[in-house]
Amino acid sequence: MQCGSLKASLGTSLPCKASRARVSTRSRVTRVTQAVADLQKAVPFLPTADHLAKWSNTSWRNFTALQQPEYPDQEELEKACAEIASYPPLVFAGECRTLQERLAQAATGEAFILQGGDCAEAFSQFNANRIRDLFRLILQMSVVMMFGGGVPIVKLGRLAGQFAKPRSANMEEKDGVSLPSYRGDIINGPEFTAEARTPAPWRLVKAYNQSAATLNLLRGFSTGGYAGLDRVTKWNLDFMANSEEGKAYTDLARRVDEAIAFMQACGLDMNSSVMKETEFYVSHECLLMGYEEALTREDSTSGLWYGCSGHMLWCGERTRQLDNAHVEYLRGIGNPIGVKVSDKMDPGQLVALIATLNPENTPGRLAVIVRMGATKLREKLPVLIEAVAAAGQVVAWVCDPVHGNTEEVKGYKTRRFENVKAEVEAFFDVHEQCNSVPGGIHLEMTGDNVTECIGGGACVSELDLSSRYHTHCDPRLNAEQALEMAFYVASRLRQRRDRIQKELESKGKVVMLY
């Protein structure tokens, strides 16, 4: 029987074999076209983009690379980098694309970035408990901000790669002896001896291995049930149980539990990934170029190159020159990236830098991380915001309130909590005045019970600095101070949400905000 007669006998419009083939082909083409369109939205640019014509994963070598150590044995350095290049990537391109989507939401106020962790990771302090405690603190802070502020929180650790540190001087002098400055455990040791301060290539491989182990543990915590919202009351750090911040968190956690119980009664699936898992990303400063090149890999899905040492990489204040190696490298990789900006930044230079790093103006590609100090921020940030807005550029504005507030007290580098909070307050105030979006906060902090920053509810005094001062580099907020900051940020996010809601209602619009 012919196809036509079969359709007639059945009284249906059953397609013949040839018709079905054409429909199937059109369906496949449609699916492929949609997949390509989805991929184009998820990447910052295509591999055919004009600005990539002269870029490669090694083109940075044609530019001046600042803040690089002077290795005495170049052959050993090349061997170490070749060994790392043969290892698996630490992160994957698909994870970076998902992070870009989340940062795009932060740029428009639909989410908020929480980026935090050690000033510099140390080999000697590497253990599972410290990683767990920092992860737990970030979870606590995100719950406070999310529940109090009513927005999703993008969780970014300064972790699994934050080893290298820029230095203001190449050499350090003590008692008439001059040695190379300590640049982080990935390069040399903190001990003031000639042997420890000599840059050693084997440290690169050790940093890779520590990062891989850290990421393995973080992925287990994120997806294995530890980060489930049904455990929110169990995240409190033991030493914080009797502190004011610990008690405030416990009270909030009970309210979250009550809300979850209500939703469960309404039919919420407690075993869903939303309830049992969380997204967690890692980031670090893109500083040590040989290490970054060794972990730069081509993605088979998009055709782009990604820096697979971390999900997000940022360019520091000392290395953000347009004609230098770090910007050359970062402009070509597909990762979300950040750039640190101080009060020294000229508005025109910032616009040019953004155009170089995000040539397609893709939302979620770039975060501008401002570090100025409260007084200078109120003066300088509005001009930068206005310049970027006038250029039509889309960025996520992030506040780094620690690096502009470092001082020396009784021989210790420290920060005063009230100064750190004042800069966060100024950050939110300026964005409210400019009608722009405060997109996130970037903190040097630890889950440890340290006494490195003065003040806050933890009541750390100048005399306490010597008690538990454990950092190898810059002072960090301890867990109590960091959680106190989270409660303040949550209050500002709530104020912003309520203000926008009232403005919309006054215009006759009823919109439910996050």
- Which of 335-349, 433-447, 474-488 has the lowest average pLDDT? 474-488
Average pLDDT over residues 360-381: 97
Sign of CA dihedral 217, 290, 199, 178: negative
Q: Are 390 and 432 in contact, with CB atoms under 8 Å apart?
A: no
What is the architecture, at CATH level 2, of domain 24-66+73-166+201-227+277-505? Alpha-Beta Barrel (3.20)
The pair of three-digit structure tokens given for residue 291, joined into one six-digit string: 């290490």
Residue spans of the domains in the chain: they are 24-66+73-166+201-227+277-505, 167-200
Q: Is the pLDDT of residue 309 over 70?
A: yes
pLDDT at 283 over 90: yes
What stretches of 135-245 adopt beta strand conformation (E)? 153-158, 171-174, 177-180
| Helix extents (H) in 86-173 | 93-107, 128-149
Confidence of residue 270 (pLDDT cuts 50, 70, 90): confident
Indicate whether 156 pLDDT > 90.
Answer: yes
**What integer best gives the mean pLDDT of the chain?**
89
Residue 240: predicted pLDDT = 60
Nearest residue to 282 via CA among 315, 308, 316? 308
Q: How confident is the model at residue 375 (pLDDT cuts 50, 70, 90)?
A: very high
12 — pLDDT class (breaks 50, 70, 90):
very low
Gap between the Cα atoms of 113 and 360, Å rounded: 22
How far apart CA 232 and CA 132 sit, in angstroms, is 14
Confidence (pLDDT) at 66: 97
Q: Which residue has the higher pLDDT, 480 or 27?
A: 480
Q: Which residue has the higher pLDDT, 394 or 500?
A: 394
As a whole number of angstroms, the distance between CA 139 and CA 95 comes to 19
CA atoms within 13 A on the CB side of 483: 30
Residue 225 DSSP code = S
In percent, the amount of the chain with pLDDT more than 70 equals: 89
More confident position, 443 or 39? 443
Surface-to-core class of residue 29, CB atoms within 10 Å of its CB (0-12 exposed, 13-18 middle, 19+ buried): exposed
CB neighbours of residue 455 within 10 Å: 19
pLDDT of residue 34: 58
Alpha helices in 331-449 (DSSP H): 347-357, 374-390, 417-434
- pLDDT (mean) for 11-21: 52
Residue 239: is its pLDDT beyond 60? no
CB-CB contact of 156 with 281 (8 Å): yes
Whether the per-residue pLDDT at 122 is higher than 90: the answer is yes
Q: Which distant-in-sequence residues (6+ apart) come within 8 Å of 26 by Cβ? A: none
Binding-site positions: 119, 158, 317-318, 340, 371, 403, 444, 474
Written as six digits, the tokens of 491 are: 């209050």
Check residue 8 and give its pLDDT: 39
Round to whole Å and give the CA distance between 416 and 260. Answer: 37
- Token pair 């790669």 is found at 161
Q: Which tokens in the block code for residue 282?
A: 């890692």
Cβ-count burial of 359 within 10 angstroms (0-12 exposed, 13-18 middle, 19+ buried)?
A: middle
Asked whether the predicted pLDDT for residue 258 surpasses 90, the reply is no
Residue 269 has pLDDT above 90, yes or no: no
Binding residue numbers for phosphoenolpyruvate: 158, 317-318, 340, 371
For the ranges 99-103, 254-258, 301-305, 332-336, which has the lowest average pLDDT?
A: 254-258
Specify the higher pLDDT residue, 224 or 332: 332
Query: pLDDT value at position 64?
Result: 97
Confidence of residue 212 (pLDDT cuts 50, 70, 90): very high
List the binding residues for Mn(2+).
119, 403, 444, 474
Contact yes or no for 370/377 (Cβ under 8 A):
yes
Task: List residues bridging with 156 in a β-sheet.
Answer: 115, 281
Amino acid making up residue 239: F
| Residue 322, phi then psi, degrees to nearest 5 | -60, -30
What's at 470, amino acid-wise?
H
Closest of 199, 203, 161, 171 to residue 186, by C-alpha: 203
Between CA 482 and CA 115 the distance in angstroms is: 12
pTM beyond 0.85, yes or no: yes
pLDDT tens digits for range 453-475: 999 877 888 888 888 888 878 89
Q: What are phi and psi of 513, to 5 degrees?
A: -90, 165
Q: Is the pLDDT of residue 79 over 80?
A: yes
Calculate mean pLDDT across residues 426-447.
Answer: 97
316 pLDDT band (50/70/90 cuts)?
Answer: very high
Backbone angles phi, psi at 442, to 5 degrees: -125, 115
Question: Are the beta carbons of 265 and 126 closer than 8 angstroms?
Answer: no
CA distances from 263 to 145, 158, 165, 316 (A): 20, 34, 46, 44
Q: Count CB atoms within 10 A of the CB of residue 256.
A: 17
The CA distance from 214 to 135, in Å, is: 11
Highest-confidence segment of 80-94, 255-269, 409-423: 80-94
Q: Is 312 helix (H, G, I), strand (E, B) or coil?
A: strand
Percent of the chain, pLDDT > 90? 71
pLDDT digit string (tens) for 345-354? 999 999 999 9
Q: What is the number of alpha carbons within 13 Å of residue 245 lying toward its C-beta? A: 24
Question: How high is the pLDDT of residue 30?
Answer: 61
CA distance 397 to 381: 10
Contact 439, 396 (CB under 8 A): yes
Q: Given pLDDT bands bounded at 50, 70 and 90, which one contains residue 65? A: very high
